[in-house]
């Protein structure tokens, strides 16, 4: 989604000016405060969400359905951030809920289901579990095609609900499709606060971190091999060129000897 406070981001410093600005629904003030100290992945992530909301609100009537959806997600993520910081964030909850309902009318059947899953997750995050389940019960999840977005949204829903098994199973399915996208999302977003301390979740993240490191090491090794091969090719071409030049000089010398034979 886009958008946790995982074991890797709990130590990130959040400037108090950012939280205070968002408590006052001052998105622009929060952006200015972050830009003074945006030196961690989590702050950069939050800045991205704030800018997305600011731009969306500034061009509200001209937004495409996709941009409108992104605005909803931005509200949702800012709400989750404030919840994670121990703040209520009610204005952003209301904006996200209203936004999801409006954009749902402009999307196709599959998109409406995805939006419904996220709206249900929003209510779970707010503690209104009954309303969340009422929304979820009306969705035809079985009709959705298998996709990264489907599993990502369901992981978000189960995380807000506190169901770690649901989180792990859907994250694995999403990871199989786009591993790097899932890992970067989980590490910096606020979606998985409810399950972040569960051993099953922690073990999954550790597993993925090792895989990611191994994959990057393998990619780096391949790059080095390619560089070495390219270097060898250049060296081989250089040798051939030098040999060709020597051969040309030899021919030229022979030709001169034939043209101007030695006098006896």
76-110 pLDDT, tens digit per residue, is 999 999 998 889 899 999 999 999 999 999 889 99
Confidence of residue 253 (pLDDT cuts 50, 70, 90): low
**pTM, entire model:** 0.74
Predicted pLDDT at 32: 82
Domain ranges of the chain: 16-143
Rounded Cα–Cα distance for residues 232 and 216 (Å): 24
In angstroms, the Cα distances linking 224 to 9, 47, 145, 214 are 32, 35, 40, 15
Rounded Cα–Cα distance for residues 76 and 155 (Å): 15
In angstroms, the Cα distances linking 181 to 80, 113, 164, 196, 224 are 20, 22, 20, 18, 25
In angstroms, the Cα distances linking 180 to 114, 228, 249 are 21, 27, 57
Query: Quick one: fold of 16-143?
Result: 1.25.40
CB 74 within 8 A of CB 100: no
Q: What stretch of H or E contains 243?
A: helix 199-259
6-16 pLDDT, tens digit per residue, is 333 444 678 78
């Amino acid at each position: 989604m886009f958008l946790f406070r995982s074991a890797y981001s709990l130590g990130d410093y959040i400037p108090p000016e950012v939280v205070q600005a968002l408590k006052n629904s001052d998105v622009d003030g929060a952006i200015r405060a972050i830009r003074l100290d945006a030196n961690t992945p989590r702050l950069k992530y939050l800045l991205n969400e704030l800018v997305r909301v600011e731009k969306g609100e500034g061009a509200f009537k001209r937004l495409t359905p996709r941009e409108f959806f992104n605005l909803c997600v931005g509200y949702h993520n800012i709400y989750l951030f404030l919840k994670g910081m121990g703040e209520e964030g009610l204005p952003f909850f209301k904006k996200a809920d209203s936004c999801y309902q409006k954009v749902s009318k402009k999307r196709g059947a599959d998109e409406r289901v995805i939006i419904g899953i996220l709206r249900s997750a929003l209510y779970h995050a707010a503690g209104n579990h009954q309303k969340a389940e009422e929304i979820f019960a009306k969705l035809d999840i079985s009709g959705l095609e298998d996709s990264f977005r489907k599993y990502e949204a369901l992981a978000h829903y189960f995380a807000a609900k506190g169901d770690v098994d649901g989180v792990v199973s859907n994250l694995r399915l999403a990871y199989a499709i786009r591993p790097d996208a899932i890992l970067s999302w989980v590490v910096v977003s606020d979606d998985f606060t409810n399950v972040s301390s569960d051993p099953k979740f922690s073990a999954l993240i550790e597993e993925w971190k090792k895989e990611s490191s191994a994959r990057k090491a393998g990619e780096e090794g391949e790059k080095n091999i390619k560089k070495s091969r390219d270097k060898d090719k250049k060296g081989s071409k250089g040798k051939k060129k030098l040999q060709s030049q020597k051969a040309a000089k030899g021919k030229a010398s022979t030709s001169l000897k034939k043209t101007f034979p030695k006098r006896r």
